[in-house]
Structure 1
């Protein structure tokens, strides 16, 4: 098997001394074979939660035979064999599943060379922005010969996001800080959402203004608590967690909110606008982007004043 490629380039080694007519016939036959191969993908391995969610949203869930350690949505994937993490896929575990298509987030050359050497078919998808989500859906759908499904799915996502954005435009835009990592048990060694990334885009669609989406800052700036205090945002989203499941994160909620409540000088803490996000939709860039945007919208605009999501 060979890696999925975007284009096909015939050369003299593949088609030696063929007439134009014979070359055309051979090329048509090869394209037909490639299409047949794509249609026969029945054992797909995913190496990241966002990929798994895209596969299921495209109606390919019954063909998924292996997923990453962190994949837990939809629920049925928890019973599937695990093949490492998106940062470090277990090539041997993947090979044991005998897949005919492997979907990777943009991987290292070392990994892709190993897959080539083992004659495994794979496709790489980008990650990091909302446009990357759409590109990944298209690449996966094309590799699995269901390109029409990508058009429908992307249209659905974009339509739902547009509705949320329309609601947000007529409301005030709170200043928001989104924390995605910190030293557990403390408010030290914070990592926040900066500019040019998926969560910043979703926050903007939901009507929030990211206080750390500033020119010159990295996508995920490392901060001290003092940086949060200086910005004094109206709302703080704490999406940091070491817990794998939503249920475990729900159990951790009271302790997390208590940490922030100690800093009454923060406008968000004093007004009760610190939210600990437990839904995986907030943590995984993918087809559930509208769900993530709706959660952020509800938090910021007071629809869920009980802070239960």
Structure 2
């Protein structure tokens, strides 16, 4: 079965906190930028980015012209599609990375195999973790500083905040539906339903868009929910992600029909089940300012 970036992203988000220790990198005292093994006085000119959301960030900051390679799933902006591909987060093509001779690797978290590889070859690494609105903003600012365009990082952060404020003002005083966020499940099966808690940026966007995540208070960011618990929590809207999947109308109808197995859910009774297929909808990055409006339209038509 072909792996989608959405499924890899979900796995990666769960695993990031448990990444193994990596070999020590050359000392570089710029903790706020998290660049390891670099000369702070020299701007990178040959950048490799591993993570579609990070690729979007680098291009949004105006540094796309310095990118010489990206991961397999990077497809936005369109200019990324012609760049050399270096595998993905969990199976990076280290040989291709070596051939491209980068002077900076930008990665999510600190994947052990990539960090050890970079240490052995003295390749500087910028480690960025984005999985909340706060860390998205922080990451954009850090990237801007590391790439020599701090004003662009601050501008993107301000744009995101401005859009969030505009949405909150628009929906002020409106009823907030209870929302189930589904980040993954098999077709014809409600026995395995992956969802998110309040620590995820997806939940934060749903909250900002005027909904209440039924698992807002869950301690985990990503986890599996049971059908029995869904019946108790009774979501009024279901937002189900199939990011990057090409679903025909017939297949979308089948995914929605699966929920008829839980007829007591208000979302099922009122036909408020939405499939979200756009590839960037599970990517934390600059386009969250568009996503929050998309979710607002779903929750408050």
Normalised-by-shorter TM-score class: 0.7 to 0.9
How far apart, CA to CA, are the structure 2 residues paired with 1:3 and 1:104?
18
Which of 53, 57, 60 is the matching residue for 1:54? 57
Q: Name the SS for the 1:102 alignment partner.
A: strand
1:231 positional shift: 1.1
Which of 220, 233, 239 is the matching residue for 1:218? 220
Q: Which residue of 2 aligns with 1:129?
A: 132
Query: Residues 140 and 5 from structure 1, CA distance in 2 versus in 1: closer, same or farther, beyond 3 angstroms?
Result: farther
Q: Which residue of 2 aligns with 1:227?
A: 229
Q: Which residue of 1 aligns with 2:5?
A: none
1:5 positional shift: 4.4
1:170 positional shift: 2.5
1:189 aligns with 2:213: no
Q: Residue 52 of structure 2 contacts residue 73 of structure 2 at CA under 8 Å; is this kept in 1? A: yes
Q: Residue 188 of structure 1 contacts residue 224 of structure 1 at CA under 8 Å; is this kept in 2? A: yes
How far apart, CA to CA, are the structure 2 residues paired with 1:83 and 1:250?
30
Query: Residues 159 and 66 from structure 1, CA distance in 2 versus in 1: closer, same or farther, beyond 3 angstroms?
Result: same
1:109 positional shift: 4.0
1:108 positional shift: 3.2
Q: Which residue of 2 aligns with 1:166?
A: 169
Q: Which residue of 1 aligns with 2:285?
A: 286
How far apart, CA to CA, are the structure 2 residues paired with 1:250 and 1:140?
38
Q: Residue 236 of structure 2 contacts residue 267 of structure 2 at CA under 8 Å; is this kept in 1? A: yes
User: TM-score, with normalisation over the residues of structure 2?
Assistant: 0.83
Q: Which residue of 1 aligns with 2:15?
A: none
1:76 positional shift: 2.5
Which of 190, 204, 207 is the matching residue for 2:207? 204
Alignment of 1:1-309 (within 5 A): 5-6=29-30, 34-35=40-41, 37-38=42-43, 41-215=44-218, 217-240=219-242, 245=244, 248-249=246-247, 252-302=251-301
Unmatched 5+ stretches in structure 2 = 1-24, 33-37
Q: Name the SS for the 1:176 alignment partner.
A: strand
Query: Residues 294 and 4 from structure 1, CA distance in 2 versus in 1: closer, same or farther, beyond 3 angstroms?
Result: farther
Q: Residue 3 of structure 1 contacts residue 120 of structure 1 at CA under 8 Å; is this kept in 2? A: no
How far apart, CA to CA, are the structure 1 residues paired with 2:138 and 2:199?
16
CA RMSD of aligned residues (A): 2.3
Is the radius of gyration larger for structure 1 or structure 2? 1
How far apart, CA to CA, are the structure 1 residues paired with 2:216 and 2:248?
28
Query: Residues 254 and 63 from structure 1, CA distance in 2 versus in 1: closer, same or farther, beyond 3 angstroms?
Result: farther
Q: Residue 141 of structure 2 contacts residue 153 of structure 2 at CA under 8 Å; is this kept in 1? A: yes
Q: Residue 48 of structure 1 contacts residue 85 of structure 1 at CA under 8 Å; is this kept in 2? A: yes
How far apart, CA to CA, are the structure 2 residues paired with 1:110 and 1:5?
23
User: Which of structures 1 and 2 has the larger relative contact order (alpha carbons within 8 angstroms, sep 6+)?
Assistant: 2
Query: Residues 285 and 4 from structure 1, CA distance in 2 versus in 1: closer, same or farther, beyond 3 angstroms?
Result: farther
Aligned length: 271
Q: Residue 123 of structure 1 contacts residue 139 of structure 1 at CA under 8 Å; is this kept in 2? A: no
Q: Residue 4 of structure 1 contacts residue 143 of structure 1 at CA under 8 Å; is this kept in 2? A: no
Q: Name the SS for the 2:72 alignment partner.
A: coil
Q: 1:16-50: per-residue Cα shift (whole Å, max 9, x none)? A: xxxxxxxxxxxxxxx9x743x11xx2221110011
